[in-house]
Chains A and B, each alone.
Chain A
């Protein structure tokens, strides 16, 4: 090792070039993937959780619920399961970011000459990759349970893309919460408390029409309802018509990103 005792000329640039930032982000995504590989149980929330929900609702509640949704419960349920999985699957990214602060890793990253935001972008990209994997697993399980896609590939993948966009928006919310609360457990607590009522008071598991009037009012404006309705129209079609659910869902997805990305970035950059 030859460390210089004299002070040599240094690179005084304060900006990190785009190519460098992309490479740094790549190194950090690799870190996230290796971390997931070493602790695959981190994927339980996007693998077993949707499977359990699917099986439970299909066989435990499905018999009772199917009459309210037109007879074929699994066709009704699966698009909703995608919505549930893509929103709940985004909790993980906030937990990950919070742990980086909690365990002092962020100090290490921040003492390196990299763009600070690359840690955040890497988490975001990893989150979308997680959601993609989860979508694939959910689809395979759904098909095994008898779910069939009745629309074309364009509609189906359009539906997945729409839900991923929503998951992207929820990921920003998750990153924001992950930056402002004090512990990884708190991230999970806050987001689950926010998402559970949204999940059950929606059209994910049953028709909004079966709920009392005051709840219907909430359920109809619930973004998870519009997302589930849009997903049904795009994946199953038939009796489930598109209406304006797709556009409303897209607006929610974009809106959440527009609101929570600046909030998240601000909180992140101010975080000590």
Chain B
């Protein structure tokens, strides 16, 4: 049976997804489309609703509204079929601590209906891939945090999932271990696995994900590529410095006509915001036409951290007065911690 159901090459397709816990709406009418083979980043602070989305997509939670399809399969109507094509690595390494690394992965193979021999071969293969082969016989209790994460990831890959959910996969890992995990995600992506990961770290989303959705209080407040988000929210700007200072007034006129705005950004340097993609080319043409010699030219893009702060700050500014006022400082701290 063909299961594309008109979703084309979308590995994850979500429409109007809602989840409520009592009075609180954890996920509030979220739409999402993740192309097969891509890495999608769900970025947001604690309590934004990222984990709730992952739990619904991985069939652990039933949505209260909307639809969600994974590999074209409805997560409610075809939950078991969804489970056959997904892998899940949660926030806390879900390994049996009293079992050895090998036994943990072997057990998953058996639960996925691999014959004993194949389950064994697959376990050994994965343990080697994740650099755990030497510690395969140690109980997981003796593993370090990073080793447990890798073991957890190995366990979620036994069934060669087409869609992999990683819920804050690097929280609590030191930078070296985090880079290892990033490499693993890139490798998986290069072999065609679709990855949906949640993270609190802009840097991580930027490093791994082609598409990013920024989440706050159950809603997506922005989405796009890392570059798009930077431009869309915090803006991109261009700066020019003429060779001859006398050209400055004319250069200012050119900028004004192309960009609509002109600022003195430094002595002898003018600049302006780039809102449309073709503005840079048009500006350079106009500068050439005016025959102004340029000594230095640079474009400046906001960091994702700034984007994130801008987004959550805007949201805080526009919200009702009964919300806690300490929202922005809290998130600032989080962003700092993420660096």
A107 & B90 in contact (Cβ 8 Å cutoff) = yes
B107 & A10 in contact (Cβ 8 Å cutoff) = no
B66 to chain A, nearest CB (A): 19
Per the bound structure, the CA–CA distance linking A110 and B62 in Å amounts to 13
B94 & A7 in contact (Cβ 8 Å cutoff) = no
Per the bound structure, the CA–CA distance linking A3 and B192 in Å amounts to 6
Q: Which residue of A2, A38, A104 contacts B92 across the interface (Cβ within 8 Å)? A: A104
Residues of chain B within 8 A of A112, CB atoms compared: 83, 108, 111-112, 159
A108 to chain B, nearest CB (A): 4
Residues of chain B within 8 A of A1, CB atoms compared: 160, 188, 191
A111 & B111 in contact (Cβ 8 Å cutoff) = no
Q: Provided the pairs A4-B162, A20-B113 are in contact, do residues A111 and B83 lie with their beta carbons within 8 angstroms?
A: yes
Q: Provided the pairs A10-B71, A35-B99, A39-B98 are in contact, do residues A110 and B84 lie with their beta carbons within 8 angstroms?
A: no
Q: Provided the pairs A6-B36, A7-B71, A112-B112 are in contact, do residues A105 and B79 lie with their beta carbons within 8 angstroms?
A: no
Q: Which residue of A4, A13, A111, A114 contacts B60 across the interface (Cβ within 8 Å)? A: A111
B113 & A14 in contact (Cβ 8 Å cutoff) = no
Mark each residue of chain A from 13 to 38: 1 if its CB lies under 8 Å from any CB of chain B, else 0. 11110001001101110110011001
A38 & B98 in contact (Cβ 8 Å cutoff) = yes
B161 & A3 in contact (Cβ 8 Å cutoff) = yes
Please tell me if A109 contacts chain B, counting CB pairs below 8 Å. Answer: yes
Please classify how large the interface on chain A is, using the bins under 10, 10 to 19, 20 to 34, 35 or more.
35 or more
Task: Number of B interface residues at 8 Å Cβ cutoff, please give it.
Answer: 55
Residues of chain B within 8 A of A14, CB atoms compared: 78-81
Q: Provided the pairs A113-B80, A114-B111 are in contact, do residues A31 and B3 lie with their beta carbons within 8 angstroms?
A: no
Residues of chain A within 8 A of B9, CB atoms compared: 5-7
Q: Which residue of B81, B91, B98, B139 contacts A10 across the interface (Cβ within 8 Å)? A: B81
A11 & B81 in contact (Cβ 8 Å cutoff) = yes
Apart from the given pairs A2-B160, A110-B60, A272-B60, 11 other A-B contacts in the complex at a CB distance below 8 Å: A3-B160, A6-B9, A7-B4, A12-B73, A27-B111, A38-B99, A103-B92, A104-B93, A107-B60, A111-B58, A111-B60
